[in-house]
């Protein structure tokens, strides 16, 4: 696998097609890594040393963009889990109320 070149703080070369990936516009993969718009390869497949070097040298805007994407994804995951937890809490509370009042479930 060819080494990935970091050409400036907001661009990294794709390891598959060698096209420059614009870190300020490129789409994210499921692991929140940049994806080449030309061939679809994400940085998950690039040499780890090169990716680490890129993120260490990345422009502040790129790091902020990635952090925001991670926060957004973490928020959407917790929002999907919330209704399940909410209904568990309602069932528990209703059961405790029935118990306290000495009534049975209908």
Rg for the chain (alpha carbons), in Å? Answer: 23
Helix (H) or strand (E) holding 7: strand 6-8
Stated pTM of the model: 0.60
What is the average per-residue pLDDT within 78-87? Answer: 58
CA angle 68, 13, 42 (to 5 degrees): 55
Q: Is 54 helix (H, G, I), strand (E, B) or coil?
A: helix
Instruction: Please write the tens of the pLDDT for every residue from 29-74.
Output: 999 999 999 999 999 888 888 888 888 888 889 989 999 999 999 8
Distance (Å, rounded) from C-alpha 37 to C-alpha 19?
A: 9
Signed CA dihedral, 61, 62, 65, 70: sign only: negative
The token pair that represents 91 in the structure block = 């069932």
């Amino acid at each position: 696998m060819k080494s990935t070149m970091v050409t400036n703080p907001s661009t990294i070369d794709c390891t598959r097609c060698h096209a420059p990936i614009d870190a300020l516009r490129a789409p994210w993969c499921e692991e929140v890594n940049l994806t080449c718009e030309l061939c679809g390869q994400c940085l998950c497949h690039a040499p780890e040393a090169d990716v680490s070097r890129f993120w260490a040298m990345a422009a502040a805007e790129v790091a902020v963009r990635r952090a925001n994407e991670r926060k957004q994804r973490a928020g959407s995951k917790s929002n999907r889990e919330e209704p399940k937890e909410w209904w568990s809490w309602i069932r528990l509370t209703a059961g405790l109320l029935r118990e306290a009042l000495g009534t049975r479930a209908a």
